[in-house]
Amino acid sequence: EIINLKKKYRFKKKKKLLTTTNGKFLEVFKKNHAELLKKELIENKELKDPNSLVNLTIFSCNLDQIEINLIKQKIFELLNFDFVLFGCFEEQELIKLMNKKFNPLIRDFKNFFKLKLLTVDSIFKFNKVKSKNFRRYLDDLNIFQLTVFYKLSSLTKSVILSYFFINGKINKNTLY
Per-residue pLDDT of the chain (176 residues; tens, 9 = 90+): 898 988 899 999 888 999 998 899 999 999 999 999 998 888 776 567 788 888 999 999 999 999 999 999 999 989 888 878 776 556 777 778 777 888 899 899 999 998 887 766 544 455 566 778 889 999 999 999 999 999 999 999 999 999 999 999 998 888 77
| Contact (CB, 8 A) for 40 and 54 | yes
- Which pTM value belongs to this model? 0.82
| Contact (CB, 8 A) for 47 and 55 | yes
User: What angle, 0 to 180 degrees and rounded to 10, lies between the N-to-C axes of helices 143-156 and 65-80?
Assistant: 30
Q: What is the pLDDT of residues 30-43, one digit of tens each?
A: 999 999 999 888 87
Give strand pairing partners of 4.
Answer: 9
Nearest Cα residue to 152 out of 98, 88, 74, 87:
74
